[in-house]
Structure 1
Amino acid sequence: MRVLRGRAETREVDGEVTAAMLSETAETGEPAVRVWTPHRQVAFGRRDARAEDFEVAKSVARACGFEPVERSVGGRAVAYTGTTVAFARTIPLEDMRTGMEARYAEMTEAVQRAFWRLGVPAQRGEPPRSFCPGNYSLQWKGKLAGVAQRVRTGAALVSGVVVVDDHGEIADVLDPIYAALDVPFDLDSVGSIAKVGGDADPGLVVETIEELLVGDAEPTVEQVEASTQVERIDADERAEYVGDRDT
């Protein structure tokens, strides 16, 4: 199993690193795992981009010091502060029409067990009016994590986000953004590991989730250098997406 560590120099290249994971797993049949802290940004989903006041929402993000980006997987807007942790695992597929629920369940259980190791008794579900609402979330006195899935011929990408700390800053930036998008949101629904007294060191969170996602596989570690250059995926090579849920 390939294990990618670190982040690229720019937001754009960093996103391409994860996209390339999916393409390479489809081509080689080798699974991959990546757990890291993305650049400070607000990542908008495809439904957000269709909202009447999407440009207003992006302007709000910039005014709050978050660069707006658009992503092709997941639901509604998610904020990354720089300590927020993202996770991704690519899985080779023989039939892209089967196994979606099992992949969601396996990822959610692995991240839940990581929370338990970090001292947070996270449970399935989420509070009402949470950020990026979906069926595969984890909560404990607020939403802590969400999971999404992207599928193409030959491989699936199961990914998501964990709020480590900065729950207040995340709530403050998402509140006016969700208002502009006309999406219900409750500031108090945002949880974090720090908020409930868990071990909120981002490095330890990354290490713990990575260990659970790798499991018993033999890892081959690759460092994502700041200068990493990733070949862009041509339009006709892009994945077919199904079942986007959560983050």
Structure 2
Amino acid sequence: MRVLRGRLDDPEADREQTASLLAAAADGEPGLRVWSPPRQVAFGRRDAREDEFERAVRRAAERGFRAIERDVGGRAVAYTGRTLAFAHAIPTARGNGDADGGESIADRYERATETVLDALSGLDADVAAGEPSASFCPGDHSIRVAGGGKLSGIAQRVRSDAALVAGCLVVGTAESRAVADVTAPVYDALGVDFDPESVGSVAAAGGPDDVDAVASAVEDAFVDGPWGDGKRRVRPVEANGQAGDGVTD
């Protein structure tokens, strides 16, 4: 599996690195990236169609978050610079969006959820599938502190030749407050229900408040789990010949 490590400081350039994984998967090479994107609020297509979208963008900017429009739907997600993201690119059977072996969209959601749950449980975090009401980026595929706040959401981008299963992951308690502090005014502008108390974290679930430790556990879970074979080819992210920061060999 091709594994990218590190990040670029520019959100748009950094996002292109993840897009390269999807392109490689279309050629038959699965890939994985687990990293902390630069500080931003990533708005979905649905957000961009709202009448008060520009107001939401201003509110994010006032709090030091650059606005980025992503290619898929869903609601805005805040990344503080320490919030983790993961992206797993998978080759699919051409023409039907099903993974090799007949794996469906629902199968990929289930596998991704189980993989992240296993990784966090291995770090002694008490987590479960599901989400509280009025949470950030509401959806059917989320992970929460058992009996508490949401700490991860999962989505998919599906092409005829590849799929990208991706998500966000809130690690620390201070980070969860920062996510809530920017999400509340942004969602208010967009007219989306949001309860700041609904944001959880790995640390709140009893796991470590250590981004590197959580990233390593999630990477291992994908590479060594049902989707991987325990082998990885690690590459640093690069732009114009320059490697990004946070690269680990």
TM-score (norm 2): 0.88
| Structure 2 gap ranges (5+) | 99-103, 243-249
User: Identity of aligned pairs, percent?
Assistant: 50
Shift of 1:127: 0.3
* AA partner of residue 206 (structure 1): A
Q: 1:102 aligns with which of 86, 95, 107?
A: 107
Q: 1:82 — aligned with what? A: 81
Q: 2:162 — aligned with what? A: 155
Q: 1:46 — aligned with what? A: 45
Q: 2:122 — aligned with what? A: 117
Q: Is the 8 A contact 1:9 1:228 kept in 2?
A: no
Instruction: Find the residue that maps to 1:196 and give its secondary structure.
Output: coil
CA distance change for structure 1 residues 206 and 162 in 2, over 3 Å: closer, same or farther?
same
Q: 1:211 aligns with which of 211, 217, 220?
A: 220
* AA partner of residue 221 (structure 1): V
Q: Deviations over 1:217-239 (max 9, x none)?
A: 3111111146558xxxxxxxxxx
Q: Distance in 1 between matches of 2:97 and 2:17?
A: 25
Q: Is the 8 A contact 2:126 2:205 kept in 1?
A: no
How many residue pairs match? The answer is: 228
1:201 aligns with 2:210: yes
Q: Distance in 2 between matches of 1:21 and 1:228?
A: 18
| Structure 1 gap ranges (5+) | 230-247
Bigger RCO of structures 1 and 2 (CA < 8 A, at least 6 apart)? 1
Q: Distance in 2 between matches of 1:227 and 1:161?
A: 27
Q: Distance in 2 between matches of 1:202 and 1:226?
A: 24
Q: Is the 8 A contact 1:13 1:228 kept in 2?
A: no
Q: Distance in 2 between matches of 1:148 and 1:183?
A: 19
* AA partner of residue 57 (structure 1): A
Q: 1:237 — aligned with what? A: none
Q: Is the 8 A contact 1:74 1:148 kept in 2?
A: no
1:181 aligns with 2:190: yes
* CA RMSD after TM alignment: 1.3
Q: Is the 8 A contact 1:91 1:155 kept in 2?
A: yes
